[in-house]
Amino acid sequence: MKIIITGGSGILGGYLVETAPARFQITATYHSNLPRSEGCGFAWLDITDASAVDGLFREIKPEAVIHTAGAANVDFCQKNQEQGYSNNVTGTGNIISACRAGNIRLIHLSTNAVYGGDAPPYGEESPMEPVNIYGQQKKESDNLVRKSGLDWTIVRPILMYGWSRPWSRKDFVVWVLENLKAGKPVKLVDDVSENPLSAEVCAQAIWGCLEKRMAGEFNLAGKDVVNRYQLGLTAAKVFGHDPGLIEPVKNESFKKIAPRPANTSFNTLKMASVLGLEPQPLEEGLRRMMESRPDRMDLLIKGRLAK
Ligand SMILES: NC(=O)c1ccc[n+]([C@@H]2O[C@H](COP(=O)([O-])OP(=O)(O)OC[C@H]3O[C@@H](n4cnc5c(N)ncnc54)[C@H](OP(=O)(O)O)[C@@H]3O)[C@@H](O)[C@H]2O)c1
Query: How much distance in Å is there from the Cα of 109 to the middle of ligand 1?
Result: 9
Q: Which of 109, 115, 176 should be mutated for ligand 1, with most atoms under 8 A from CB?
A: 109
Cβ of 117 closer than 6 Å to ligand 1, yes or no, is: no
> CB 132: neighbour CB atoms within 10 A?
18
Query: How much distance in Å is there from the Cα of 164 to the middle of ligand 1?
Result: 12
130 and 115 in contact (C-beta within 8 Å)? yes
Nearest protein Cα to ligand 1, atom 36: 7
Angstrom distance (rounded) from CA 163 to CA 136: 27
At residue 298, the pLDDT reads 53
Q: Which of 40, 82, 111, 201 should be mutated for ligand 1, with most atoms under 8 A from CB?
A: 111
For the segment 27-50, the average pLDDT, to the nearest whole number, is: 93
Query: How much distance in Å is there from the Cα of 50 to the middle of ligand 1?
Result: 18
Most confident of 41-55, 250-264, 285-299: 41-55
Nearest protein Cα to ligand 1, atom 15: 11
Q: 144-171: buried (b, 16+ CB within 10 Å) or exposed (e) per residue? A: bbeebebebbbbbbbbbbbbbbeebbeb
pLDDT reading at 292 higher than 50: yes
At residue 256, the pLDDT reads 78
Angstrom distance (rounded) from CA 263 to CA 196: 12
Query: How much distance in Å is there from the Cα of 7 to the middle of ligand 1?
Result: 6
Residue 305 pLDDT class (50, 70, 90 cuts):
very low
Q: SS3 of 206, please?
A: helix
Residue 294 pLDDT class (50, 70, 90 cuts):
low
At residue 306, the pLDDT reads 32
Q: What is the CA radius of gyration of the chain?
A: 19
- Percent of the chain whose predicted confidence (pLDDT) is above 70: 95
- Residue 34, class by beta-carbon neighbours within 10 Å (0-12 exposed, 13-18 middle, 19+ buried)? exposed
Summarised one tens digit per residue, pLDDT across range 100-153 is 999 999 999 999 999 999 999 999 999 999 999 999 999 999 999 999 999 999
> CB 133: neighbour CB atoms within 10 A?
23
Q: Which of 11, 67, 134, 289 should be mutated for ligand 1, with most atoms under 8 A from CB?
A: 11
Q: 43-54: buried (b, 16+ CB within 10 Å) or exposed (e) per residue? A: bebbbbebebbe
Angstrom distance (rounded) from CA 20 to CA 299: 27
Mean model confidence pLDDT for the chain: 94
Cβ of 111 closer than 6 Å to ligand 1, yes or no, is: yes
Q: Where are the domains of the chain?
A: 2-164+196-222+264-280
Nearest protein Cα to ligand 1, atom 1: 160
- Whole-structure pTM value: 0.96
Cβ of 159 closer than 6 Å to ligand 1, yes or no, is: yes
267 and 195 in contact (C-beta within 8 Å)? no
Cβ of 107 closer than 6 Å to ligand 1, yes or no, is: no
Domain 2-164+196-222+264-280 homologous superfamily, CATH = NAD(P)-binding Rossmann-like Domain (3.40.50.720)
Cβ of 11 closer than 6 Å to ligand 1, yes or no, is: yes
Summarised one tens digit per residue, pLDDT across range 196-241 is 999 999 999 999 999 999 999 999 999 999 999 999 999 999 999 9
Angstrom distance (rounded) from CA 233 to CA 222: 17
122 and 112 in contact (C-beta within 8 Å)? yes
Cis peptide before 121 (omega within 30 of 0): yes
Cβ of 90 closer than 6 Å to ligand 1, yes or no, is: no
For the segment 25-42, the average pLDDT, to the nearest whole number, is: 91
Angstrom distance (rounded) from CA 14 to CA 27: 12
